[in-house]
A and B are shown apart, each in its own frame.
Chain A
Amino acid sequence: MAAIKAGEEYGFFTDTSICIGCKACEVACKEWNQLQGDSPAFLDDSYDNTGSLDAQNWRHVKFIEHVPDQSATAGNGTAWLMMSDVCKHCKHASCMEVCPTGAIIRTEFNTVFIQQDVCNGCRNCIAACPYSVIGMNQETGTAHKCTLCYDRLQGGLEPACAKACPTQSIQFGPLAELQQAADVRLATLHSQGVTQAQLYGRDDKVYGGLNAFFLLMDKPETYGLPNADNAKLPSRNDLGGYLGAAVTAVLAVIGGLVAFRRRGTP
């Protein structure tokens, strides 16, 4: 890969069709970013024991195990779906929209980054992120998520997860190149009859496009991802919310004025 340059757009293309669920990405991420991880726990309805993305898990291989028992076609058995989930680094990021401190910024690599020295732990971004990506680190009192290995990019290195992925399910590179590679991969799968394969976040239908986009083997909802109809920014509710409050205020003031109106002279 060519040298990593500031000012260019970078991202991930995560091809879930070749993810084997080895979780090397999770381990590499924790190693590089010095994340302790959560206390080990068995999650009783899944072979996955990571659970979800949070302050300690910036990559999470989702296991979609609840698949129908019968084969789709003869000789084509059922398979669990694996997806190495990560912060999507949305073009129109919900977290960045609501952040009151200005801690969440876009870097010179066009990634979404939470400045730890600026963040004050209000957690508004957690309420806003539609992907359940951000978690609160109680020790630092700040919100944590994938940085797209900002420090490695500055040093000219690709992110740890992409480096470690043994199947190249996680690819890192300039966004335009990744999009091109994804289009080729999708065409290949479709030509092989894998018609359920689809790209998620490749175009601008979901939050203006995702810098970390995916090739999925089922519809987005199956993976717990909002589809294009549901991917909305929090600010959609500003107008309605304030109008509702204003109408209530008018009614309440009228009620108060009526109740307190003058009745005769003192």
Chain B
Amino acid sequence: MVFLAEHFVRSPQWTWYILFYFFFAGIAGGAYLVGTLLRLSGDARDEPAARVAFYVSLPATLICPILLTADLGASWWKFWHMMVDVTPGDTGLNFKYWSPMSVGVWALLLFGFFVTVSAVDAWMRNRGGGIIPMVVNRAFNIIGAIVAIFIASYTGVLLSVSNQPVWSDTWVLGGLFLASGLSGSAALIALLIRNRPDAGFSLGRLHQADGYFSVLELALIIVFFITVGAAGALARELPGCRFGPSPWPGSPDLSSRRAATCGCGPRGDRAPSRGCVSTRSWSPSWSC
């Protein structure tokens, strides 16, 4: 049965800080996973590229909490409330497994540990000896890679676990973000090693992996449009079309009934949005 959700929500206005957080979380998680896969599946000649991957994931991870904290605005100094509940008489640690933001905070902390150890280890290895024996390191990387997969994907799930139009009409976003992060980080690592003779062996293999990740991403984008279309969100977001973006959203085929229920118009940011906010970004003038 197709679930035709109608939405009457306001946009949370997660803008640039959060957009860049999504990007860097994808690169950080993707690079860590690529590094781990290079170490697990590749041979000794892939080790230099794997170390580059762990190098990449460290700064990409470190910038994430900075962006998230900056997004809190005037309350930035209360970032730690994500972890500690300071409700008077009910203090304790916060963890809601059903709220991706709550899980994500802890995952980011955990991932920071894995990334730091792996990057320092890679740095030491480039200078003679790692801090962890390779056998233990592989196990460490595998556990870290699981956290990395979570970091690269939970942001998409977080968007879906809401009542926002489009976001909450699909189950694809988490996977899409992961595939996108993997593809981007594979390409970035390939870019970084292109002038390094010691890592040159991995270049073609990274291109091949990037190809697979891109195909996966493309497939997920198609599934995304199918799920959103099936939920009726596209028709709602882009009035006048049924299952795909119509050439000109805002085409005037709206019934007066629709205008009445929508209750929206070009009212600036305070418009009650039943998906009207995103419609605005598609078309400068629209009738709803």
Residues of A in contact with B (beta carbons under 8 Å apart):
38, 41, 43-46, 51-52, 54, 62, 64, 66-68, 94, 97-103, 105, 115, 117-124, 126-132, 134-136, 138-142, 221-222, 224-227, 229-230, 232, 234-235, 237-238, 240-245, 247-249, 251-253, 255-262, 265-266
Q: How far is the CA of A137 from the CA of B125 in the complex (A)?
A: 50
The 8 Å CB contact of B270, one of A51, A134, A247, is A51
The closest CB in chain A to the CB of B273 belongs to A132
Q: Taking the nearest CB of chain A, how far is it from the CB of B104, in angstroms?
A: 8
> B268 contacts which chain A residues (CB < 8 A)?
41, 51
**A118 in contact with B12 (CB, 8 Å):** no
The 8 Å CB contact of A235, one of B161, B171, B261, is B161
> A247 contacts which chain B residues (CB < 8 A)?
175
Q: How far is the CA of A31 from the CA of B154 in the complex (A)?
A: 42
Q: How far is the CA of A44 from the CA of B75 in the complex (A)?
A: 34
**B265 in contact with A98 (CB, 8 Å):** no
**B171 in contact with A244 (CB, 8 Å):** yes
**A266 in contact with B45 (CB, 8 Å):** yes
Q: How far is the CA of A67 from the CA of B261 in the complex (A)?
A: 10
Q: How far is the CA of A57 from the CA of B108 in the complex (A)?
A: 36
The proximity string for B residues 99-133 relative to A, scoring 1 for CB distances below 8 Å and 0 otherwise, is 11110010000000000000000000000000000
> B38 contacts which chain A residues (CB < 8 A)?
260
**B74 in contact with A249 (CB, 8 Å):** no
**B178 in contact with A245 (CB, 8 Å):** yes
**B164 in contact with A66 (CB, 8 Å):** no
Q: Taking the nearest CB of chain A, how far is it from the CB of B250, in angstroms?
A: 15
Q: Taking the nearest CB of chain A, how far is it from the CB of B206, in angstroms?
A: 8
B222 within 8 A of A: no
Known contacts A101-B81, A256-B212, A222 near B261 by CB under 8 Å: yes
The 8 Å CB contact of A127, one of B71, B76, B154, B163, is B163
The proximity string for B residues 172-196 relative to A, scoring 1 for CB distances below 8 Å and 0 otherwise, is 1111111100100000000000000
**A120 in contact with B81 (CB, 8 Å):** yes
B168 within 8 A of A: yes
**B173 in contact with A102 (CB, 8 Å):** no
Residues of B in contact with A (beta carbons under 8 Å apart):
4-14, 33-34, 37-38, 40-46, 71-76, 78-79, 81-82, 85-87, 90, 94, 96, 98-102, 105, 149, 153-154, 156-164, 167-168, 171-179, 182, 202, 205-206, 208-209, 211-213, 216, 220, 256, 259-263, 265-268, 270-274
**B9 in contact with A129 (CB, 8 Å):** yes
Across chains A and B, the number of contacting residue pairs, with CB separation under 8 Å, is 272
> A118 contacts which chain B residues (CB < 8 A)?
78, 81, 85-87
The closest CB in chain B to the CB of A60 belongs to B272
Q: How far is the CA of A38 from the CA of B270 in the complex (A)?
A: 10
> B9 contacts which chain A residues (CB < 8 A)?
126-132
Other than the known A123-B13, A127-B163, A138-B73, what 19 A-B pairs have Cβ atoms closer than 8 Å?
A45-B266, A52-B272, A64-B263, A98-B161, A100-B101, A120-B79, A121-B72, A122-B101, A221-B6, A225-B8, A226-B8, A237-B161, A244-B173, A245-B156, A245-B177, A245-B178, A248-B153, A260-B202, A261-B41
A–B complex contacts, Cβ < 8 Å, 28 sampled? A44-B267, A51-B272, A100-B102, A102-B94, A118-B78, A120-B72, A124-B12, A130-B7, A136-B13, A221-B261, A224-B263, A238-B157, A241-B160, A241-B161, A247-B175, A248-B174, A248-B216, A248-B220, A249-B175, A252-B33, A253-B37, A256-B33, A259-B206, A260-B40, A260-B41, A265-B43, A266-B44, A266-B45
The closest CB in chain B to the CB of A119 belongs to B75
Q: Taking the nearest CB of chain A, how far is it from the CB of B203, in angstroms?
A: 12
**B272 in contact with A120 (CB, 8 Å):** no
The closest CB in chain A to the CB of B256 belongs to A66
The closest CB in chain B to the CB of A95 belongs to B163
> B176 contacts which chain A residues (CB < 8 A)?
248
**B149 in contact with A140 (CB, 8 Å):** no
